[in-house]
Amino acid sequence: MLHANAALTPRHRLIVGQLVVDQGWPISEVAARFQVSWPTVKRWADRYRAGQSMQDRSSRPRRSPNKTSQATTKRCIQLRLRLREGPVQLACRLGIAPSTAHRILADVHLNRLSHVDRATGEPVRHYEHDHPGAMIHVDVKKLGNIPDGGGWRYVGRQQGDRNRATTPDRPRNKHRDPLMGKAYVHTAIDDHSRVAYAEIHDDETALTATAVLVRAVEWFNARGVTVERVLSDNGGAYRSHMWRDTCAELGIKHKRTRPYRPQTNGKIERFHRTLADGWAYARCYTSETERRGELDGWLHYYNHHRPHTACGNQPPFSRLTNVPGQYT
């Protein structure tokens, strides 16, 4: 790679060497012709005479006697993963400067604790499929239904309990919550584009989950995305024969996460947090009906208008091309 402040390119360096060595030009005349100093001309002429390359040499020293040893580097990384201490604490343990500990951690991308898995202490491994539809993540987000008049998050515990007691129960959820029941948000998100699809239901049975999958696949197909694989956790609906048969009919390969490892399905877990902050608990809803009525509008905003850091601060739909309604 040519030095940023180099006065001569490798081709001109070769010409300089040929003029001085082969044609016998004085160094001062060559320097004046190329508008460089005579030491520069002499250096390239000497290299040409010795048959050396005209490219820049590496500025890296031949020896680094004060370089941090491999053993210290390895120990610093091990302590970071096991104890999750910062550079100052690690430097004290290892007898090195805090700046050295920080450099070691930055070189292996462990300078932030967010890069370390909280459950296992292992480095977080980010992955992304190379095209839309290669993998969609599915899961269910459970939310407590909002009683008429508002929930406790906005009206307080006492008023929230009174609202729950006077709100008619949802019959299908009596066995789960004698007062209000729950809302089950079935979600599907494309691994590559982060485009999301969601429906709200009163249960998470295999029948409901498979019906949502069929509609989600049709929704993605209408936008030019062919679903190839689906990733889920080990919930009962996703282990059912109905789910297996539905995936086979749709020509989709089903994969499940390792037990007790929700990080494997981290994209949809992170989407659920965005869903909760941006829609489910974003404002004071006076009823569950009102909140459910806002979901479609929020999904449109998320897919078409909300900047996503994983998409280069562009909306998820920016990663889909020639899609009807892409810029609405």
Contact between 231 and 256 under an 8 Å Cβ cutoff? The reply is yes
Please report which helix (H) or strand (E) contains residue 190, including its range. strand 182-190
Burial pattern 59-93, b for ≥16 Cβ within 10 A else e, equals eeeeeeeeebeeebbebbbebbbeeeeebeebbee
Cα(306)–Cα(39) distance, integer angstroms: 58
At 296 the pLDDT is: 94
Q: What is the pLDDT of residue 319?
A: 87
| Closest to 140 (Cα-Cα) out of 194, 191, 196, 198 | 198
pLDDT score recorded for residue 178: 41
| Contact by Cβ (8 Å): 315, 326 | no
Q: What are phi and psi of 129, to 5 degrees?
A: -70, 155
User: Which DSSP helix (H) or strand (E) runs through 99?
Assistant: helix 98-107
For the chain, report the end-to-end CA distance as a whole number of angstroms: 46
* Residue type at 295 in one-letter notation: L
What does the pLDDT profile of the chain (328 residues) look like in tens digits? Answer: 566 667 788 899 999 999 999 999 999 999 999 999 999 999 999 999 999 888 888 888 888 888 899 999 999 998 888 887 889 889 989 999 999 999 999 998 887 766 566 555 555 556 678 889 999 999 999 998 887 776 656 556 666 666 666 666 554 444 444 445 789 999 999 999 999 999 999 999 999 999 999 999 999 999 999 999 999 999 999 999 999 999 999 999 999 988 776 667 888 988 998 999 889 888 888 888 899 999 999 999 999 998 888 888 889 998 887 655 555 5
**What element of type H or E holds 27?**
helix 27-34
Q: How many CB atoms lie under 10 A from the CB of residue 37?
A: 12
**Cα gap 108→111, rounded to integer Å:** 8
Task: Decide: 163 and 148 in contact? Cβ < 8 Å.
Answer: yes
Cα 206 to Cα 175: distance, rounded to the nearest angstrom = 18
Please list, residue by residue across 252-277, b when 16 or more beta carbons sit within 10 angstroms of its beta carbon and e when fewer do.
bebeebeeeeebebbbbeebbeebee
Q: Which pTM value belongs to this model? A: 0.60
